[in-house]
Amino acid sequence: MRLKDKVAIITGAGQGIGEGIAMRFAREGAKVVLVDVNESQIKQVEQNIKADNGIALAIVGDVTSQEAMKDLVEQVVKEFGTIDILINNAGITRDALLHKMSEDKWDMVINVNLKGTFNLCQAVAPIMREKGYGKIVNISSAARMGNVGQTNYSASKAGVVGLTRALCKELAPKQINVNAVAPGFIETEMSKKVPEDILKALIKNIPMLRQGTIDEIAGTCVFLASDEAAFINGQVIHVDGGRFMF
Ligand X SMILES: NC(=O)c1ccc[n+]([C@@H]2O[C@H](COP(=O)([O-])OP(=O)(O)OC[C@H]3O[C@@H](n4cnc5c(N)ncnc54)[C@H](O)[C@@H]3O)[C@@H](O)[C@H]2O)c1
Query: Residue 224: phi, psi to the nearest 5?
Result: -65, -30
**Which one of the spans 67-75, 94-102, 178-186, 220-228 is the region binding ligand X (CB under 6 A)?**
178-186
Q: For ligand X, which is the closer residue by CB, 70 or 174?
A: 70
User: Given candidates 18, 54, 159, 241, which one binds ligand X under the rule CB under 6 A?
Assistant: 18
Q: What does the per-residue mask of binding to ligand X show for 31-70, with x meaning CB under 6 A?
A: ----xxxx--x--------------------xxx------
User: Given candidates 58, 90, 171, 180, which one binds ligand X under the rule CB under 6 A?
Assistant: 90
If one asks whether residue 134 binds ligand X (CB under 6 A), the answer comes out as: no
**Which one of the spans 45-53, 120-128, 167-175, 181-189 is the region binding ligand X (CB under 6 A)?**
181-189
Q: For ligand X, which is the closer residue by CB, 133 or 155?
A: 155
Q: Which of 25, 118, 153, 185 is catalytic?
A: 153
Q: For ligand X, which is the closer residue by CB, 86 or 90?
A: 90
Q: For ligand X, which is the closer residue by CB, 91 or 133?
A: 91
Give the list of residues 6+ apart from residue 14 with CB closer than 8 angstroms, or none: 34, 36, 37, 38, 41, 42, 44, 45
Verify whether residue 153 is a known catalytic residue. Answer: yes
Catalytic residues, which ones? Answer: 153
Which residues contact ligand X by CB under 6 A? Answer: 11-12, 14-18, 35-38, 41, 62-64, 89-92, 112, 116, 139, 141, 183, 185-186, 188, 190-191
